[in-house]
Amino acid sequence: MDNQISVIAFDADDTLWVNEPYFREAEAQFASLLADFMPIQSIVAALYETEILNLPLYGYGIKGFMLSMIEATLRMTEGKADPLVIQKVIELGQSMLNKPVELLEGVEEVLKALHGKFRLVVATKGDLLDQQRKLTKSGLDHYFHHIEVMSDKQEKDYQKLIRHLDCQPEAFLMIGNSLKSDVLPVLAIGGNAIHIPFHTTWAHEHIDHTIEHPNFYQMESLSEVLLKLRI
């Protein structure tokens, strides 16, 4: 990897700490609540469809997911859902917001090794309040020069971040678990990207093609980043 890298940005959810398994767990519990109305697979499909339709309104994160669960419930039951079911859906969302922050293996060791050698940034999307909560609970906030919670991760969002950091694209490295959000838009603007897959990824983040690019690197663990950067 080119030694001109000066800024390293990290995705947060499922790159620094566990996130997606909580959504899949809540999804399964939600489906079981409505199992009397339709098959489980149909419930899951209806919820996903509602989430995608609501992204322009609510953005990413638990609160939007909770609102989508409520909307999907009302739609699937034709407005006949017991108020107790709606209450349980709200409790599912609240439970997700109160989950502990579980760091992924090697995260703090990597940040400690990189700290002081590069400007470290959190570049994540989702609900601002929830991401701030998780960062504070993680105990990692002191490693980062800047925290950016984006409404989305498109090329324009990364360009705005790079301008704010007064950084050239070729000096910027993004590390994350989503090819769609953490890799493709960064490569498109001339930056560098490392993909570290997580065992569970939301369907919306999947892409159906391989990536071949001189600035793209595939790794199995965050610890491999140190070897690549010769730290």
198 lies in the same domain as 115:
yes
160 lies in the same domain as 183:
yes
148 lies in the same domain as 189:
yes
11 lies in the same domain as 120:
yes
The residue among 56, 72, 97 that closes a domain is: 97
Residues of the chain where predicted confidence (pLDDT) is lower than 70: 1-2, 202-204, 206-208
Tell me how crowded residue 137 is: count the other CB atoms within 10 A of its CB: 14
Identify any residues that bridge with 176 across adjacent strands, giving them in sequence order.
195
pLDDT of residue 230: 82
pLDDT of residue 231: 77
What's CA 93's distance to the chain center, in Å? 17
144 lies in the same domain as 117:
yes
pLDDT of residue 200: 75
Residue 54 resides in a domain: yes
128 lies in the same domain as 200:
yes
124 lies in the same domain as 91:
no
Domain containing 159 — which CATH number?
3.40.50.1000
pLDDT of residue 212: 84
Q: Identify whether the C-beta of residue 150 lies closer than 8 Å to the C-beta of residue 99.
A: no
Domain containing 82 — which CATH number?
1.10.150.240
pLDDT of residue 211: 84
pLDDT of residue 177: 94
Model pLDDT for residues 118-135, shown as the tens digit of each residue: 999 999 998 899 999 999
Q: Which domain holds residue 182?
A: 7-17+101-228
